[in-house]
Structures are given as structure tokens and as C-alpha cells.
Structure 1
Amino acid sequence: MPNRGSVLRSLCLSPLIVSQKAKVRRNNGQKSPTKPKAAQLDRISSLPDEIICHILSFLPTIEAVTTSVLSTRWRSLWTLVLTLDFDDNWPCFFNTTFASVFGSILAQRKAKCIKRLCLYNYSKPFSLDLIGSLVSTAVAQNLEEMDLICNYYFEVTLPNTLFTCKTISVLKLSLGLTINLNNISSIHLPSLKVLHVDVLYLVDDESIMRLFSGCPVLEELCYEEVKSNNSTSFKICVPSLKKLHLKCHDKRVQVVTPSLEYLQVQETKVRDSLVGNLPNLLQAHADIYFDQHEKEYVFNFFNAIRQTKFLGLSTYTIEALTDASFGFPEFHNLVHLQLCLSTIDSCSLIQLLLARCPKLEILDIDKVYGKVKESGHSQLHQFLVVLAHILRRLNLESMVAPNTSWNLQSIF
């Protein structure tokens, strides 16, 4: 019978030390009472292979492989796991030794596909050529999801096969990664539904637009602080998109997504035509700011999202609304409004919003800090009592910071 650690030693890993000897304790020459058989039962090992492999899929691959030393039952279970998860804590991470380890793992795998490949690099520079090799190998095994997270500013050339992969449905490229998509001859991802592009440096805007146009069924896009050498405006034009998370200080971005149902704009500067009309919008979260000479852009933004049923406004957005002093558009479908205020003395602004939301049923007022002026107690008391009567639900539980001297419960 092969040694239990032979698999791990072939992968340049040290097996876990699992004691096979039971210690016998004696008390006055007598053996300690034997534990009931029920307490000794290995319930996990009795589970079906499919369930155990599903559990192992949540572990880093190094830990999943290590379970092969537990017993004969576990020796080959890791080879059936559909996920591969590598980070820079792996011994000899991202060098030729790791490449051989990765190849050995793939050679021993019995699963017919790779559902998810995760490559996390936080602290150690890696071999750029190896990244392409690993991705190509995974794509050849019908890759479905990939996370590539890197904390270094290197230009990585991903293989052409990744951008023509017929099976991949989730692609996440994150942190300080630099990539030149101009070297990719063709981009066609017929199954890609989720794309995250986070703090990614692109050589030019045409690269990202080529990527968008090559995703005909894309439904979810997370686009965070993408940088480019180009100064001309460019559009996020994805007709099939239903969910968008946008975090970008670049005022050149324009969003053209008529099928959008969920929009989250975070730490983003409002500019002319930031978003087009969104007739199917159901939920919107706005965290925006603007220059003083561009106040009219605030109205354009809210006019574009006026069809939403849920609207969440951050502290900065509330300040933008207060400073802009424009005619707020009517939100005739809005039933749930969530406000994050920087001051408790915002009754006039809330009144303005309520006047433009005829179907509003639920109002959340959250995260208000500081003490309320004594002179404002009476006005605020009357205002909130009115709100409590006209709305179906008024949430004020975290309206004031814990150190305030004002008792919110006294209102009711």
C-alpha cells in the first residue's frame, strides 16, 4: 500500500501528521472507560463523494490536497473537486517549482472541468509567463469562473484562448493588474454573464470597449477606477446589462445600458450624460459629487434614474442635492427611500424629496451624527410625527449617534 503522504511529497508538500495510535490511560491499573461508538463515528467520511467535494471546494487547493492523508477513503477525493484556489502562501509560489506542482495537480485530477480558478497574489512578485500558462491550461479544461487578483503593477499578457472561451461565465480581474488587450486578436465570450474590472490599468479605451462588445449576454458589470492613457470619452454600451456597479473618478465615462435593473454609483463624479435613460431600473444607490460649475449635471443624473422603485442616497449625494438647488424630478414609481444624512437638521430637504415621490411607502433615515440643536427639537418632532402617519414604515433606529443627548423614542 502506498504511503499516505506520497501524493503530497510528489507535490513538494509536507503531509499532515496524523497519529494512528490511541493512547491508553490507566487509573490504578485500570483502563479508562471506552468512548461510545457513536462518539467515534466519522460522520463526514460517511457522506457521499459529491457532498465532500463540495465542502472541499471552499478550501484553498493546498488544504484540499492535504486531506488525502486522512484515510484511504479521502486519498483521491481532492481530485474530484471542481475548483482550484491558489494564493502566494503556497510553497514556491509562482516559480518553476510551482508550475510543476500545478501540472502534477492537473494530471491527477479526475474532474472533467474546472468550475473556478482563483489566483491571488498579494505580497510576492510572480512569473508573468506562468500566469498565461496556468490560464491556458484551465481554459482547456472547460473553465467556468476565474478570479485573478494581483497587487503589483505588471503588464500581464493573458492568452487569446481566455477571450474566446465558450464556457467561462464569470471573469474577475482585480487590483493593480496591468493588461494590454490590444494584443488579443479576437474577443468573443458567448457565455460570460459576470465581469468585474477593478482598479485595472488599460493601455487605451478601445481595449475595454472591445471587451464589452465581445460579451453578448453580459448581465453584471463591476467597473471600478479603471485607468487609461486616452483622454477621449468612451461609453459603457452593453444592451444586455442588468446590474452595474460603477466607481470611477474619470469624467469621460458614459453609461448606455437601457436594460439596467440595478445601479450602484459609488464615489463617482457626476458629469454630463453619465447615464442615459434607464426605463427598467428597479434599484439605485447613488454616492456622487460634482464641481460647482456643473450643478446642472446633478439634475440630469437623477432624471435618468427616476423610474427606480428603490433609491439610496449617501451623505455626499445629499450634500450635492442641497448645494445644487435644482428642481428635483418626480419619482412616480419610488416606494422605498434610504437617506444617509450628515446632519439632523435636514427637514426641508426631506420634504422636497417626499413631494416628488407620491407613492413612497418606506423611508429609512440612517447614520446621522452629532447632537441636535435644542431649537430644532420641536420642528423635527412635528415633522417625524407627520412622516409616521403618512408612510407605511419609518425606520429611525440608527438615526442619531449613540453619544447624543437627544432621545429619539420620545417622539413617539
Structure 2
Amino acid sequence: MTDINRCGIDNNFGIDRISSLPNDPRTHILSFLSTREAVQTCILSKRWIKTWASVPDLKFDIKEFGLFEIVNDEMAVQFVTKFELLLRSVLEKRETLSVNRFQLWLDSEFCLPWTQAIADCIDDVMKLEPRECLVKMCSWEKLNLNTNLIFTCASLIYLQLWLSTEVILELESVNLPYLKTLNLGGFPISDNSLKKLMLGCRVLEELVLENCYINNIEICSNTMKKLVLRSFYMGMRLQISLPNLLYLYLDICMEEFILLNMSSLVDASIYIPGCYGKDKYVTGVPKLIDSLSNVENLRLDLDFLRGQVDDKFSYCPFFNNLKRLEILNSRLFVFDLAPYFLHHSPKLQELTLGASSCCVRESLGEETTQEGPGDAFVQREFLKTVRIERFENDNEFVDWIINKLLIHVKVIGEIIV
């Protein structure tokens, strides 16, 4: 008979080594799970019955609770009632008062009839001073969420708050001395509350505002490194002064753009949608582009015609650090603007152009009556890479673009279509 030990098989094979670990390592393991998954481990053995109650993280996502089964309003009400009872039960049975990360993901393809009970649960968690808070919620009802409690939680280093509501955020005070990342979306913010946010977040490094509907945006900070503003809202004025900013993303319509102290900026992505009949929302674009002259990577998505801005871009500054440039979805304007960057960006290595070929086919083979920059500038010697993005397989369209580029560049190293 074969000696099992001689075969190198452990006599302890089959022992539950994870359950034999001390409580702290088991709690740490559960912190990587959602709260629902952590609670389910109570059925594993007696040692696991209350381990979940010591986990410092609270992470709830309604998509884990059979959301797809809701087919009518009655089922939606039943779902909300059960979820709110579950959330309250978990909060009451926890054995630790500390919260490291609180995540409440209540967004879905349709709004749910959340009641004040869910807002009360959020308030109770915030009183425990979590270090990270992520709340995203769509609701039929307007909930009385204590936002002032949230924005005076001094322990926070990360805050993401996304609420689908038309109620304007009015803050009495802001005290977030350790907050480094702030992500807000889905609700209007008064101009005065935004100013309080900037004053109350003294070490803020990353700010994201999405569909927050702010009329006058003023952001000044010596610590901010990343700024994202994304909204279809058309406001009056954007003014930012961020000497240490590294990354900027703008998808917003404003009458006036004022960008100051942008010498550290490395990456910028700018989308300005076409506002037909409202040229006041695009006339500030040349000044905006001028403010980005120190960047290394630039993405421009300007969805309007060149005539809405200026007849010429002869004022275009030198982009002495620019290495990668993308000009996308800009109709014929993409082909007018590119030459100015070619002649004003001595370090440019990669150029990406993108537009639907249906926007340019009518111009193929036609002589332009507009004076081009080819006569005013010396031809560029070399460009490493050109990428051409299009929505249709149209070789004539590609040839047309390449011929336009070769007016301004002697040799193109690689062309990628």
C-alpha cells in the first residue's frame, strides 16, 4: 500500500487555514468585498458569524440586489423598502464605530422612490467620520440630505457626491482640511457655495464637477493638480488660477474663459460644442487656446465652423512643449486649424485628425478662395506620426487630408488610418 506521506501530501490537507487566522487578517480580507458579500460569509462557520461586523468598509451597490427584476412602480417601492431596511440593519449590527470607506451606489437606468430613511442612513454614517465617501443616487423624491454635515466632515480625504436633483446646493460652511479628491455631479451649485468649497478644501488636488450648473465658475488653488469640468450648461464666466495644475478637461459652454497661471499644465482636453445662433459661447475659444501654450499633450474637439471664431488664426501662439495634438469632430475647421499648430509647435511628434468624411466630401477637388498659411510659413521638415480617424472607408477622403498636410510638412514618418 502506498505511503501517502512519502508522496509529499500534507496530512493537514483540507484544513480551513483562512478560518484559523486571527480576526484582523480575516477582517482585512473581507474589506475587499462588497458589504453584501461580506455579510454572506457568516454562514461559513461559527468563526465567521460576526467577522463582517468588524469590517471598516461599507460598500453597497443596488445592482447586486436583483434590480433587473423590477418591472413596475409597485415592485420599485417594495425593492426600496427592503433595501432601506437592510441598510439600517447592517448599520445597527456593526461592532466597529470606525468607517474607512462608505460607498452607496444607488444609480440605475430609472429613478427609484427613495425615502427620507435612506438620507437618514447617510447622515448616520457621516457622523462616524469616514475617510472616503462615495454616494450616487437617482430618486423620484427630493430628499433632505444633510449636505452641510457632509461638507464639514473633517476626516474626509475623498468625496464623491452625485445626486439627480434640481435643488441648488447652498452650503453654510465647508471644513474639509484633508480632502484631496472632490467629485460632484448632478445638481446645481450656487456661486457662493463654490467659493466656500475652494476656501474650505485647503489641500485639494483633484476636482471634478459634472452637470453642476454653475453660472460663474471661479477656481483658485495652489494645490490642485487635476481639474475636470463637464456640463452641457451654458454659463457666463469661467476663471481659474491654478499654478500647479497638470491635467485639464473642459467640456462646457461659457461666454468668457479666463485661464491664469497655467505654466505647469501638461495635458489638456477641450471640447466646445457648437451653439448655433449663439456665437458668444465660442468667441472666447481663441483666447482659451492661447492659455494652453505650455502643454505637452492637447486634444481639441471644437464642434463649430471656423467662421464662428475668426477669419484667421494668425495670432496663434507658439506651443514650444507640444508633442501630441488631436483635433477631432470639428467639420472643415479641423483642416483649417491644423496648419497653424504645425508651424507653431517645433516639438510636435504626433498629430491626430478626425472628422466625418461626409463633412468634407463636398470640398474634395475644390480650390479654396481663402488665403492659407502655406504661403506665409516655411514647410515643416518632419512629422513622426499622423493618425486619421473617420467614420467611413473613403480612400479619396484620406488622400485629400494627406495632400493638405504635405503642403505644410515635407516628410511624414508614419500614417495610421
Normalised to the residue count of structure 1, the TM-score between the two structures is 0.71
Given the alignment, which residue of 102, 105, 115 partners 1:116? 102
Cα distance in 2 for residues equivalent to 1:282 and 1:305: 9
**Aligned letter for 1:361?**
Q
Higher strand share: 2
Deviates more, 1:159-168 or 1:328-337: 159-168
Change in Cα spacing, 1:354 to 1:175, as seen in structure 2 (3 Å) is: farther
Cα distance in 2 for residues equivalent to 1:329 and 1:339: 17
TM alignment of 1:12-411, pairs within 5 A: 45=18, 56-57=30-31, 59-72=33-46, 74-88=48-62, 95=81, 98-99=84-85, 101-110=87-96, 112-122=98-108, 123-128=111-116, 130-131=118-119, 133-152=120-139, 154-158=142-146, 160-178=148-166, 181-182=169-170, 185-202=172-189, 204-227=190-213, 233-248=216-231, 249-259=233-243, 260-266=245-251, 268-289=252-273, 291-293=278-280, 296-316=283-303, 319=305, 323-325=309-311, 326=313, 327-341=315-329, 347-366=335-354, 368-370=356-358, 390-391=382-383, 393-396=384-387, 399-401=389-391, 403-405=393-395
Change in Cα spacing, 1:165 to 1:372, as seen in structure 2 (3 Å) is: closer
Cα distance in 1 for residues equivalent to 2:92 and 2:34: 15
> How much is the aligned-residue C-alpha RMSD, in angstroms?
4.2
Cα distance in 2 for residues equivalent to 1:159 and 1:348: 48
Cα distance in 2 for residues equivalent to 1:402 and 1:52: 55
Cα distance in 2 for residues equivalent to 1:193 and 1:59: 25
**Aligned letter for 2:43?**
V
Say which SS state the counterpart of residue 326 (structure 2) adopts. strand
Normalised to the residue count of structure 2, the TM-score between the two structures is 0.71
Shift of 1:134: 2.1
Shift of 1:130: 3.9
Shift of 1:140: 3.5
Shift of 1:311: 0.3
Cα distance in 2 for residues equivalent to 1:185 and 1:224: 22
CA offset digits 1:129-178 (Å, max 9, x no partner): 541x3233323333011122122362533154322222111111214135
Say which SS state the counterpart of residue 202 (structure 2) adopts. coil
Change in Cα spacing, 1:346 to 1:173, as seen in structure 2 (3 Å) is: closer
Instruction: Tell me which residue corresponds to 1:17.
Output: none
Shift of 1:85: 2.2
**Unmatched runs of 5 consecutive residues or more in structure 2:** 1-8, 67-77, 368-373, 403-413
Shift of 1:224: 1.8
Cα distance in 2 for residues equivalent to 1:159 and 1:41: 51
Change in Cα spacing, 1:200 to 1:58, as seen in structure 2 (3 Å) is: farther
**Aligned letter for 1:403?**
N
**Unmatched runs of 5 consecutive residues or more in structure 1:** 1-35
Cα distance in 1 for residues equivalent to 2:361 and 2:16: 62
Cα distance in 2 for residues equivalent to 1:176 and 1:357: 43
**Aligned letter for 1:246?**
L
**Aligned letter for 1:362?**
E
* Contact map agreement 2:300 2:326 (CA 8 A) in 1: yes
Say which SS state the counterpart of residue 273 (structure 1) adopts. strand
Shift of 1:110: 4.2
Shift of 1:309: 1.2
Change in Cα spacing, 1:265 to 1:68, as seen in structure 2 (3 Å) is: same
* Contact map agreement 2:84 2:117 (CA 8 A) in 1: no
* Contact map agreement 1:79 1:111 (CA 8 A) in 2: no
Shift of 1:190: 0.5
Change in Cα spacing, 1:178 to 1:45, as seen in structure 2 (3 Å) is: farther
Cα distance in 1 for residues equivalent to 2:15 and 2:307: 61
Instruction: Tell me which residue corresponds to 1:19.
Output: none
CA offset digits 1:54-98 (Å, max 9, x no partner): 664454422321122133454344234332122446596665983
Say which SS state the counterpart of residue 136 (structure 1) adopts. helix
Say which SS state the counterpart of residue 332 (structure 1) adopts. coil
**Aligned letter for 1:70?**
L
* Contact map agreement 2:265 2:295 (CA 8 A) in 1: yes
**Aligned letter for 1:312?**
R
Shift of 1:200: 1.0
CA offset digits 1:195-230 (Å, max 9, x no partner): 11212134x3212322232111111111122236xx
